[in-house]
Amino acid sequence: MKPSICLIFNPVSGQGDPDQDLAMIVSLLGSEIDLDIQITTPETTALDFAIRAVELGATALIASGGDGTISAVTEALIGKNIPLGIIARGTANGFANALGIPTTIAPACATILSGNTRTVDIGLCNGKPMLLLAGIGFEAEVVNSVNREAKNWLGSLAYLVASLGQLGNLKQFDTKIETEDKIITVPATALTIANAAPPMSILAQGGANVIFNDGLLDLTIVATQTQTNAIAASFELLTSALKGESVNCPEVGFMRAKRFSITTNPLQKVVLDGEIIGLTPVEVESIPNALTIFVPRTEVIQLEEKLEGLPNLNITLKEV
């Protein structure tokens, strides 16, 4: 008997044809899984469907949409040990990219069918789940300026275009940052608190190598005041991230902690996983190993399985 799994599908995510996308998902998964397909609407959200599925005893869920859809579904799964399959169809697909989950439909479905899972941390930002990051200041202004039409037309390039447009509106603000063991005050143009982040999330890369299962959050502080310095700092952040090294730039700072409490003067917009959620202050904390995700089988995992049960092999495998 095939397992029954709820598929929560957002038809307005991304730039593809939603009917074709859904048909492909059904054709790829339908032979192995009895899919309970739930399509989101303005009246019934991904979170509504996820809560209902959990209440009915779901053993797994699948979310298909952008980072906002996936984040909404995870709110019902925190600490539940119910695996989540991700079929990313959004504009940026940052969470899938950060975890190495394929961002095209066929390999994403294959990842789910593999049954391989791992646990990851979740952040809570003002009580809301944070898969990726919360941005304060510049990044929030960028996201606020990008509309659905621009994302449909340009895809992830919409954010780059908006970033260039916002460089002329850089505004520095005073910030008070409190962690579990210190309090600091600094001027800033942008603050980014990350739970997980792919290299292209430039403003989250102060320390590089954001780890999504270490029980810690990464805070990057950018304090540039001019367009020239902002471009230079962004370039340093990008190159450092691609090299896997901490940034070496006098206008960029970095902190790592279990929780952050941040206030600003004046108040600043806050973006959480691509959605504006209001204004500062923010309280962000890490919830370790709070979410179970279907992930691809790595070559290391496959080799471990082949070696399992063979006697007297003194071999240590390291994940790369």
Alpha helices in the chain, H assignment, sequence order: 18-29, 46-55, 67-74, 94-99, 105-114, 138-145, 148-154, 157-166, 227-243, 299-307
Give the span between the Cα atoms of 68 and 151, in whole angstroms: 14
Q: How far apart are the first and last CA of the chain?
A: 37
Peptide bond preceding 187 in cis form (omega within 30 of 0): no
pLDDT in tens, 253-279: 888 999 999 999 999 989 898 788 999
pLDDT in tens, 47-58: 999 999 999 999
CATH classification of 4-115, choosing from 3.40.50.300, 3.40.50.10330, 2.30.30.100, 3.30.420.40?
3.40.50.10330
**Antiparallel, parallel or unpaired: β 84-88 and 133-137:** unpaired
pLDDT in tens, 297-313: 864 344 344 334 444 43
The DSSP 8-state label assigned to residue 174 in this structure reads E
DSSP string, 102-158: -SSHHHHHHHHHHT-EEEEEEEEETTEEESSEEEEEHHHHHHHH--HHHHHHHTTHH
| 187 burial type by CB count under 10 A (0-12 exposed, 13-18 middle, 19+ buried) | exposed
The mean pLDDT of 88-117, rounded to a whole number, is 92
Q: Where in the chain is the domain with CATH 2.60.200.40?
A: 129-288
β-strand partners of 275: 272
Give the span between the Cα atoms of 192 and 138, in whole angstroms: 10
Alpha helices in 209-295, H assignment, sequence order: 227-243
Whether residue 201 is predicted with pLDDT greater than 80 in this model: the reply is no
pLDDT in tens, 33-49: 999 999 999 999 999 99
pTM reported for the whole predicted model: 0.77
According to CATH, the topology of domain 129-288 is Tumour Suppressor Smad4 (2.60.200)
Whether residue 316 is predicted with pLDDT greater than 50 in this model: the reply is no
Query: Residue 131: what pLDDT?
Result: 92
Report helix, strand or coil for 217. strand
The mean pLDDT of 211-232, rounded to a whole number, is 75
- H or E element in which residue 191 lies: strand 190-194
Q: Which two tokens stand for residue 307?
A: 């070696």
**Antiparallel, parallel or unpaired: β 282-294 and 259-265:** antiparallel
Q: Where in the chain is the domain with CATH 3.40.50.10330?
A: 4-115
Query: Residue 247: what pLDDT?
Result: 62
| 126 burial type by CB count under 10 A (0-12 exposed, 13-18 middle, 19+ buried) | middle
